[in-house]
Structure 1
């Protein structure tokens, strides 16, 4: 079965209070596009407005990322900034607490309205929050352990990158794609690759990659990274400059890139690499629009972030704006293969 293709992330820089209104409109429209029922689109607008107002009042270099959930049904709103952080987080989450002589209902309202709300802060570093709004019904297993952000280069309307993650037998299968260059030709290649992947995410990784290679023959081609996550181990197969890392015990462990080649033009004999994973380890895949130097000496605070916040933090703090940038983070599934 072919799965629906996720759109790029909407990125709203909160550099003025006027951006808060734009954030609310964008969240409402996104929730409607995702067919969230009843009052949920208005609730999405409230969440975006509250998080955006908080950034406008208190934060430095704040932004919102809005998108459909990377796994499961619903929408998510990520709020990211670069300081100053909250010294009394629990008090900030309490209704009536304010440092600016306002009603103080922002974060308290978000935590009540959202289906899931996660927030982390460090004084001097910044605050990262993820509010997810889901329709009634069963929750996708392990959906809270997945995060992704996909942004076009500055000045471009479409992203030449793409990513997706699906539940497959025993765990998850994820893909990150970087169409050569950027703009519409790169986006065409990335979307064709994504359509090919979405039709067969549970197949062996080399088979998936060969199928994508055939689908991209009349495009400019792409770099593609595939990762299949199980409890305790992962399989990796890739071609081109998609970086894959694993994080555990507050350290960066495996650092992998794809085999030389261009999917759609020329690919080598494909190899699958097995990666042992500690319980609770997080895998990160990203394109070269994310500065790879983030992994040289990451802070313990960054390494401890849950997957949705980690994706937002890397996109906000390490994005190279001249290129499309995509990062996908996923925590090892808890169930056995």
Structure 2
């Protein structure tokens, strides 16, 4: 399912691969190389992407527990890049500096490939905690150059096991001193749920900017004739330091700040079918706060973790999905910095 950033690149989670057998490393490499070719990467750069992904997959197989690789395409107006995300529940890396040195391998880490992956990638980020696991992201542009992306919000979607498409989707609109987030969890799963979620993204991006409760009402009207779903919109005012939130259905939303997780309230209903009332609520947005939206593919029982306000948004989203995700449903999570 596409995760759309209005005015920023469009991100698509192309495939999730669980790396438990040695053969999966080769599969991940082939998928990554094919993606690079589809995005018109030069052959040399496509080979570098394949090498980096091979290192990631091989070391997940050798050292990690429940290792997974996510391949993502990030398409802008004039270029497309590849983003690789790896996450596991393994023993973690005791000494990241040592592990990132080329040629180093320590039992219980991702191993010798980390230094090579960081060197080949244009952007690289990693977090690892003992007995909890490791998460890394690596971004590859067609032509090598220094990082130039300021990513203030990032998310992740994962389909229900056995499904090829995710019925959840999110989008982000940007304006000076403002971020507006939208998430839709299409009812059920599979192609019909994905169709509803895509329609919510289309309308959110096409309609003029409006208050969250007005946008939710528009989404409710737009989803008539589809399977419908849960929708939510959060508007972050970075000057007034407030977030206005409106939700219809079971999209969970929280503000993370001052060592606490503060929930934001959605009202009962199903967009496209039933909405007795649509209300918005205002919340404080302290400096440095994070705003998190997620579908019911994640349990709401997760608690505040200081890393969630310091990690890059994508790694924070991946951490939440790994630790709070449930396997019986589509899942999506969106994290925004403020």
With the shorter chain as reference, the TM-score category is: 0.7 to 0.9
Per-residue CA deviation, residues 132-167 of structure 1 (Å, 9 max, x unaligned), is 223568977631x43311111112222111112232
Aligned with 2:97: secondary structure? helix
Whole-angstrom CA distance in 1 between matches of 2:312 and 2:288: 10
Q: How many residues align?
A: 325
Name which of structure 1's ranges 65-74 and 286-295 shifts more when overlaid on structure 2. 65-74
| Partners of 1:82 and 1:141 in 2: CA distance | 29
> 2:273 matched to 1:255?
no
Mean CA deviation greater in 227-236 or 157-166: 227-236
Structure 2 CA distance, aligned partners of 1:58 and 1:245?
34
RMSD of Structure 2 on Structure 1 (CA): 2.8
Which residue does 2:229 correspond to in 1? 222
In the alignment, what sits opposite 1:181? Answer: 188
Task: Give CA deviations for 1:296-329 in whole Å, capped at 9, x if unaligned.
Answer: xx44455643321111122222221111111111
Structure 1 residue 33: Cα displacement: 4.2
**For the Cα contact (< 8 Å) 1:261–1:268, is it kept in 2?**
yes
CA contact (8 A) 1:237 1:270 kept: yes
Gap change, CA 1:286 and 1:2, over 3 Å in 2: closer
Q: TM-score, normalised by structure 1?
A: 0.86
In 1, Cα distance between equivalents of 2:20 and 2:276: 46
Using structure 2 for the length normalisation, give the TM-score.
Answer: 0.86
Which of the numbers 234, 241, 248 marks the counterpart of 1:239?
A: 248
- The more displaced of 21-30 and 202-211 is 202-211
In the alignment, structure 2 segments of 5+ residues that lack a partner are none
Structure 1 runs not aligned, ≥5 long: 333-337
**1:84 Cα deviation after fit:** 0.6
Measure, in 1, the Cα distance between the counterparts of 2:47 and 2:246: 42
The structure with the largest strand share of the pair is: 2
Corresponding residue number in structure 1 for 2:55:
50
**Corresponding residue for residue 87 of structure 1:** 94
**Correspondence for 1:335:** none
Q: Could you tell me whether the CA contact under 8 Å between 1:5 and 1:194 is conserved in 2?
A: no
Partner of 1:62: 67
CA contact (8 A) 1:168 1:202 kept: no
CA deviation after TM superposition for structure 1 residue 91, in Å? 0.8
Q: Which residue of 1 aligns with 2:319?
A: 313
Following the alignment from structure 2 to structure 1, what is the Cα–Cα distance between the partners of residues 88 and 125? Answer: 15
Cα distance in structure 2, aligned partners of 1:262 and 1:113: 46
Return the alpha-carbon distance in structure 2 between the equivalents of residues 289 and 148 of structure 1: 14
Which of the residues 152, 156, 160 maps onto 1:149? 156
